[in-house]
Amino acid sequence: MANATPASIGRVNAGGSEDALFLKVFAGEVLTSFERASVTTGADMVRAISSGKSASFPVMGRTTAAYHTPGAEIVGTDVNHNEKVILINDLLVSSAFLSNLEEAKNHWDVRSAYSTEIGRALAFVKDKHILQVIGLASQASANVSDSGYGAGTTVTNTDIANATDATSASGFIAALFDAATALDNNYVPSEGRICFLDPTMYYKLSNATNAINVDFSGEGSIATGQVQKIAGIELRPMAHFVKDDVGTSDADAGSATQGGSTPQSVNLTNYEGLVCHPSAVGTVKLLDLAVESEYDIRRQGTLMVAKYAMGHGVLRPEAAVGIKEA
């Protein structure tokens, strides 16, 4: 009796690696998980580079206008310039090694579950880094030394720390209006403003009369537990909101070996909200999200690695506001 010819389910056109198509399915799952889990999408300006360790963003100050005196020579007006340099962090990886035997023993799709967790791990680090850079921007000085060029802003409202939910929510709402005022005074566009906050404060706002009542033109509902906007600022709750001191020895501080620094280190103690326009934070991508997989015959298992190399830095401090409770 002749041997059976197995169907080449995992091969491309019946040739090449036996698991080539399986790898592509896994890679798609990682990308989907990353996009679904990331909360900061659209909150930064992204620039891709093909080589190098950093990217430079030119900064130009404002010029002035003056009335001309007849007969006087027009010689031009000097404009202050600077640059913002964003370093690429070291390669960030999330990995899993799946033993052939362990995978065979399980009655559920092991690879799918691991792919989800790998994607989430990368997304959460990216989110934290962007939040921390928004915090850095809110604490930063102006890019150029022009009198009309704004620095970052920090708004403090002690009512936010009140034990009564209604008082705490009212304090946060007042802080959001102060943040909107600061952004307006710095000529930051009204479109695209976002406030990141933790779920506890978000649901306090969802139950606040002046945030959801239609008589106040509120955009929210107790039934859905959602508040879309306050003071023209979109609200985005996130369980991994950063509100502590991210020191230089903390893994979340980032690691730019080429620059010898921890570029996302910042103290966000007592911060309850971070407001920004996408122009406040820059992201430089050297290696976008990618997946590698290799079977190790010596260890009888498959190593899966999801990775990216990108950096985050402050672009426009005047487009960021930190909200503190004390």
Write a three-state SS string for the chain: CCCCCCCCCCCECCECCCCHHHHHHHHHHHHHHHHHHCCCCCCCEEEECCCCCEEEEEEECCCCCCCCCCCCCCCCCCCCEEEEEEECCCCEEEEEEEEHHHHHHCCCCHHHHHHHHHHHHHHHHHHHHHHHHHHHHHHCCCCCCCCCCCCCEEEECHHHHCCCHHHHHHHHHHHHHHHHHHHHHCCCCCCCCEEEECHHHHHHHHCCHHHHCHHHCCEEECCCCEEEEECCEEEEECCCCCCCEECCCCHHHCCECCCCECCCCEECCCEEEEEECHHHEEEEEEEEEEEEEEEECCCCEEEEEEEEEEEEEECCHHHEEEEECC
221 is written with which tokens?
């509902």
Query: What is the rounded average pLDDT for all residues in the chain?
Result: 86
pLDDT-based confidence at residue 227 (cuts at 50, 70, 90): confident
CA distances from 156 to 169, 175, 178, 226, 269 (A): 14, 7, 10, 24, 12
CA distances from 121 to 46, 198, 264, 294, 320 (A): 20, 18, 17, 20, 26
The dihedral over CA atoms of 118, 123, 128, 129, expressed in degrees to the nearest 10, equals 100
Give 187-225 pLDDT, tens digit per residue.
999 999 999 999 999 999 988 766 655 444 455 555 566
CATH number of residue 45's parent domain:
3.90.1690
Among 105-119, 151-165, 172-186, 302-316, which is the least confidently predicted range? Answer: 105-119
Counting the structural domains of the chain, the total is 1
219 or 284, higher pLDDT: 284
pTM recorded for the entire structure: 0.85
Residue 274 is assigned to a structural domain of this protein: yes
Half-sphere exposure of 14 (CA within 13 A, CB side): 3
The dihedral over CA atoms of 143, 243, 40, 189, expressed in degrees to the nearest 10, equals -40
91 or 107, higher pLDDT: 91
Residue 96 is assigned to a structural domain of this protein: yes
Among 103-107, 119-123, 309-313, top mean pLDDT goes to 309-313
How many CB atoms lie under 10 A from the CB of residue 43?
25
Residue 249 is assigned to a structural domain of this protein: yes
Residue 116's pLDDT is 83
Residue 78 is assigned to a structural domain of this protein: no
Among 124-128, 148-152, 318-322, which is the least confidently predicted range? Answer: 148-152
Over range 241-261, report the average pLDDT. Answer: 81
pLDDT-based confidence at residue 262 (cuts at 50, 70, 90): confident
Q: Decide if 108 contacts 116 (C-beta within 8 A).
A: no
pLDDT over 90 (residue 106): no
Residue 39 is assigned to a structural domain of this protein: yes
Residue 66 is assigned to a structural domain of this protein: no
Among 10-14, 49-53, 100-104, 273-277, which is the least confidently predicted range? Answer: 10-14
Give 73-91 pLDDT, tens digit per residue.
999 988 888 888 998 999 9
Among 25-29, 45-49, 151-155, 293-297, which is the least confidently predicted range? Answer: 25-29
Residue 100 is assigned to a structural domain of this protein: yes
Residue 215's pLDDT is 43
Residue 232's pLDDT is 93
Of 55, 134, 128, nearest to 318 (Cα)? Answer: 134
Percent of the chain with pLDDT over 90: 46
CA separation for the pair 31, 48 (Å, rounded): 18
Residue 6 is assigned to a structural domain of this protein: no
Residue 174's pLDDT is 95
Give 17-60 pLDDT, tens digit per residue.
767 777 767 777 777 777 778 899 999 999 999 998 889 988 88
**Structural domain boundaries enclosing 25:** 20-58+83-324
User: Tokens 């310039």 map to which residue?
Assistant: 81
pLDDT-based confidence at residue 254 (cuts at 50, 70, 90): confident
Over range 231-251, report the average pLDDT. Answer: 89
